[in-house]
């Protein structure tokens, strides 16, 4: 994992925070319960005692150590059972006094057995993505500020369907993609002219997915390929490139009209690798399908059209509409 010290420190700090929060919460619950049910406090003291006695036996005990340890083990189990019973009798869940770790597998230590726990991997991905997204306009866009009334409630003379109805479907597809990101198994291709809300929806998805604790990288295609090219020709570690391949969700916005052979090659590798790893991505562009095929070649085009869910954007440039609404005092 080529994460630098800064990313590692941020991730482990968050683990530590989870751990101490879990312990504090546990202490709080204990204080409350021990007040109400003093027998529980006595059981905890007795449990601690059996532990100490067992340790003493192991270190210094002569005679029948094995038998004594077994007896202590039985006492311990009986105390635990009594505690569970007492809790249930009083209407509490029987595990209420256990520390409620964010990740039970590693008890928020980040390591399960000899290996790095998935929860620490996820935090590392998230923190690496935060660094990668520094300075992007991510926080500015949400589903809430997406307004369907900007799309004509007619076929607009140009199409044989109602544009607003169509965009309503696009909008709800994006919302469910974000809400059910855990199960996302497809990628999205957003096509349409400029100013129709592609970036707005892509960033809204990004924010909703980040909120669920996933690592998301968003940038324009040009920036992404430029950073990858810098890493490719520089002597630095390929941290950004690694995250582009590895993050939970990658958003490549505005595939441009012209792309260098390096960009085209990178795009092909990104799409292939992420498809193999079942990691979703969102690609957006102002290009038409024909232009996409002509600029990016058959092998990229066939994957984008064949494997991605196609979301076509229609309507009139919303940047212009907003300016007009403003100068009309709010009316359309």
Ligand X SMILES: Nc1ncnc2c1ncn2[C@@H]1O[C@H](COP(=O)(O)OP(=O)(O)O)[C@@H](O)[C@H]1O
Per CB under 5 A, residues contacting Zn ion are 103, 105-106, 117, 119
Minimum distance of Zn ion from residue 277's CB (angstroms): 21
CA angle, residues 117, 243, 289, in degrees to nearest 5: 130
Does residue 263 touch Mg ion according to CB under 5 A?
Answer: no
194 interacts with ligand X by CB under 6 A: yes
**139 close to 132: Cβ distance less than 8 angstroms:** no
Find the binder of Mg ion among 133, 187, 199, 243 (CB under 5 A): 199
285 binds Mg ion (CB under 5 A): no
Tokens 């066939």, located at residue: 302
Between 246 and 253, whose beta carbon lies closer to ligand X?
253
What whole-number distance in Å separates Cα of residue 138 and Cα of residue 130? 10
- Interface stretch with ligand X, choices 7-15, 17-25, 100-108, 191-199 (CB under 6 A): 191-199
- What are the CA-CA distances from residue 226 to residues 62, 132, 262 (Å)? 71, 13, 9
Q: Tell whether residue 221 is a contact of ligand X (CB under 6 A).
A: no
Among 164, 166, 198, 227, binds ligand X (CB under 6 A): 198
Residue 204 binds Mg ion (CB under 5 A):
no
In whole angstroms, what is the distance from residue 209 CA to residue 133 CA?
A: 14
x/- letters, 43..72, toward Mg ion (CB under 5 A): ------------------------------
Locus of tokens 């312990």: 23
The verdict on 195 binding ligand X (CB under 6 A) reads: yes
**Per-residue interface string for the shown chain with ligand X, residues 290-319, x marking contact by CB under 6 A:** -----------------------x----xx
Residues 25-84 that bind ligand X (CB under 6 A): none
The gap between the terminal CA atoms of the chain, to the nearest Å, is: 52
Picking from 10, 177, 25, 245, the residue whose alpha carbon sits closest to that of residue 110 is 10
Structure tokens at 255: 């595939």
The Cα-based distances of 309 to 124, 165, 185, 257 in angstroms read 29, 18, 10, 21
Footprint on this chain of ligand X (rule: CB under 6 A): 145-147, 150, 192, 194-200, 313, 318-319
């Amino acid at each position: 994992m080529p994460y630098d010290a800064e990313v590692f420190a941020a991730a482990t700090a968050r683990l530590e925070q989870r751990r101490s929060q879990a312990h504090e919460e546990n202490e709080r619950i204990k204080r409350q319960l021990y007040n109400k049910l003093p027998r529980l406090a006595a059981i905890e003291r007795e449990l601690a005692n059996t532990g100490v006695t067992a340790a003493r036996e192991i270190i210094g005990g002569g005679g029948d150590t094995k038998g004594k340890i077994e007896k202590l083990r039985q006492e311990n189990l009986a105390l635990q059972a009594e505690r569970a019973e007492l809790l249930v009798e009083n209407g509490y869940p029987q595990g209420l006094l256990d520390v409620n770790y964010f990740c039970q597998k590693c008890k928020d230590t980040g390591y399960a057995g000899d290996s790095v726990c998935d929860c620490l991997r996820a935090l590392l991905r998230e923190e690496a993505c935060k660094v990668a997204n520094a300075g992007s306009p991510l926080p500015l866009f949400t589903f809430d500020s997406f307004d369907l009334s900007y799309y004509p409630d007619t076929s607009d003379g140009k199409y044989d369907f109602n544009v607003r109805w169509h965009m309503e479907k696009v909008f709800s597809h994006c919302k469910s993609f974000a809400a059910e990101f855990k199960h996302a198994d497809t990628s999205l291709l957003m096509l349409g002219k400029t100013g129709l809300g592609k970036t707005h929806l892509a960033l809204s998805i990004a924010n909703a997915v980040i909120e669920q604790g996933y690592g998301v990288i968003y940038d324009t295609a040009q920036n992404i390929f430029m950073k990858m090219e810098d890493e490719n020709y520089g002597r630095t570690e390929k941290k950004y490139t690694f995250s582009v391949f590895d993050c939970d969700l990658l958003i490549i916005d505005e595939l441009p009209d012209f792309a260098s052979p390096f960009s085209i090659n990178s795009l092909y590798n990104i799409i292939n690798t992420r498809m193999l790893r079942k990691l979703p991505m969102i690609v957006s562009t102002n290009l038409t399908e024909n232009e996409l095929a002509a600029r990016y070649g058959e092998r990229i085009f066939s994957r984008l059209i064949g494997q991605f869910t196609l979301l076509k954007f229609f309507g009139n440039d919303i940047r212009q509409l907003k300016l007009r609404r403003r100068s009309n005092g709010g009316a359309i």
